């Protein structure tokens, strides 16, 4: 049997991978794609569906709206069942993560005094939106349930908002434990599941609010519509601050006063982008065919393998693992920290045909989406990485930090 650092070992893991065939569902190229994960690959069926939807617009014209208008709720039910562990009528696909977070957090805070608790390294747009809505109390990175409990005196906190998987470190939060700590303090709990949706099993039962995106592990395309979740029991109490006509009961009666739908649909705002929305359905169906449980199993194996190779090859070169070693505490990307992370990331892209991404100040993120990532991809990427650092190729690049999306 091949040693873990031999390519044959990776090839053996691929040969035994029951999900290996899903790779054929995607448009592939020569480069090793390990963006971590700002944008999933293009599924062939999404390309087809987008083209079909555009044709449908051309042929059906305005009458297409009779079906299109159902898409936000219909796709929400699909996500509820297959991806986030919610009930029908608890999820909508609409707007961006930012706008959805704003709608839900503003609704939660309306008439509910108290501070907002989040983490100091929460994803930027989440922190910025929350800063605009009230006083924010910042926890240290990757808080445990006890940390949340310690930060929440009963009655003192209105809302706790955290990411299920941290965008930088890849740490996976204790969703159930933290939700319970928030509830014990009388606060509502809002989860951002952008970096877990489609790759980590999620169970939102008992959770109050959640937002997520469809362009990472769900592969619905750049800036594809986001989603929001609200548990059924809150839907009559909370109101969207954006009183749009798509949330109006009897929308086309166009009556004089805003009278929101008595369900999740009240959290729609304006006319949704149908071409972008239509792409979500085949993308999510593809993930559902593989199954999130099976994807999680492969994802854990991929990240574990990356950590093994890091320990063998990269730690001696000055890298530090930024992601938890405990598989139960990490998502599907691995962050490798290095003082020269920026240049190393650029060198991988420009000189080695490997695409990871960079998150300030020092993290090179390797996203390992199990639907289309092979173990040999991990081996090849890390082999190129170690040689590029050993040979100091990265020193040839401009050291100035810039933007890596």
**Active site residue ranges:** 123, 192, 215-216, 365
What are 337's two structure tokens? 């920290």
Closest to a second copy by CB, 313 vs 372, is 372
Closest CA to 359 of 124, 93, 26: 124
Nearest of 161, 160, 214, 165 to residue 193 by alpha carbon: 165
**Distance of closest approach, residue 200 Cβ to a second copy, in angstroms:** 21
Question: Is the Cβ–Cβ distance between 262 and 236 less than 8 Å?
Answer: yes
CA distance 366 to 373: 11
With H, G, I as helix, E, B as strand and everything else as coil, classify residue 36.
Answer: coil
Q: Least distance in Å: CB of 35 to a second copy?
A: 4
Least distance in Å: CB of 302 to a second copy?
Answer: 18
The distance of closest approach from Cβ of residue 153 to a second copy in the complex, given in angstroms and rounded to an integer, is 24
Contacts of 12 (CB under 8 A, 6+ apart): 1, 2
Cβ contacts of 302 within 8 Å, gap of 6 or more = 332, 368, 370, 373, 375, 378
Please identify, using beta-carbon distances, which residue of 43 and 114 lies nearer to a second copy.
43
Helix (H) or strand (E) holding 225: none
Q: Nearer Cβ to a second copy, position 213 or 376?
A: 213
CB of 1 to a second copy, least distance (A): 35
Q: Which is nearer to a second copy, 255 or 318 (CB)?
A: 255
Which residues does 262 contact at the CB level (< 8 Å), separation at least 6?
A: 235, 236, 249
Nearer of residues 73 and 300 to a second copy, judged by Cβ? 73
Name the residue nearer to a second copy (CB basis): 6 or 237. 237
- Look up residue 262 and give its DSSP letter: S
- Identify the bridge partners of residue 248 per DSSP, sorted by sequence position: 260
Q: Least CB distance from residue 299 to a second copy, whole Å?
A: 19
Q: How far is CA 338 from CA 140, 171, 199, 292, 366, in A?
A: 21, 18, 26, 32, 13
């Amino acid at each position: 049997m091949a040693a873990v650092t031999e390519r044959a070992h990776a090839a053996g893991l691929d040969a035994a991978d029951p999900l290996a065939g899903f790779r054929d569902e995607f448009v592939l190229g020569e480069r090793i794609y390990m963006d971590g994960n700002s944008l999933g690959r293009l599924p062939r069926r999404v390309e087809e569906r987008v083209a079909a939807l555009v044709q449908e617009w051309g042929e059906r014209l305005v009458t297409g709206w009779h079906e299109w208008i159902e898409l936000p709720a219909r796709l929400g039910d699909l996500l509820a069942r297959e991806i986030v562990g919610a009930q029908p009528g608890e999820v909508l696909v609409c707007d961006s993560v930012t706008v959805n977070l704003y709608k839900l957090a503003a609704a939660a805070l309306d008439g509910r005094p108290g501070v907002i608790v989040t983490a100091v390294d929460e994803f930027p747009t989440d922190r910025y939106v929350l800063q605009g809505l009230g006083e924010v109390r910042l926890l240290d990175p990757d808080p445990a349930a006890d940390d949340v409990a310690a930060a929440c005196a009963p009655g003192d906190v209105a809302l706790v908002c955290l990411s299920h998987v941290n965008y930088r470190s890849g740490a996976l939060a204790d969703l159930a434990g933290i939700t319970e700590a928030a509830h014990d303090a009388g606060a509502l709990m809002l989860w951002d599941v952008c970096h877990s949706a489609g790759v980590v099993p999620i169970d939102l039962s008992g959770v109050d609010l959640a937002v997520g995106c469809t362009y990472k592990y769900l592969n619905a395309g750049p800036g594809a519509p986001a989603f929001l979740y609200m548990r059924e029991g809150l839907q009559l109490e909370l109101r969207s601050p954006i009183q749009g006509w798509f949330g109006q009961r009897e929308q086309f009666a166009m009556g004089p006063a805003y009278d929101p739908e008595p369900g999740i649909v009240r959290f729609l705002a304006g006319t949704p982008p149908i071409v972008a929305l239509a792409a979500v359905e085949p993308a999510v169906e593809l993930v559902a065919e593989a199954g999130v449980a099976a994807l999680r199993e492969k994802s854990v194996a991929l990240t574990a393998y990356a950590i093994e190779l890091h320990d063998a090859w990269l730690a001696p070169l000055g890298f530090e693992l930024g992601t938890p070693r405990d598989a139960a505490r990490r998502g599907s990307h691995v962050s490798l920290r290095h003082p020269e992370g920026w240049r190393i990331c650029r060198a991988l892209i420009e000189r080695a045909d490997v695409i990871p991404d960079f998150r300030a100040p020092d993290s090179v993120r390797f996203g390992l989406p199990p639907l289309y990532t092979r173990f040999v991809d991990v081996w090849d990427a890390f082999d190129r990485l170690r040689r590029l650092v050993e040979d100091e190729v990265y020193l040839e690049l401009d050291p100035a930090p810039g933007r890596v999306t």
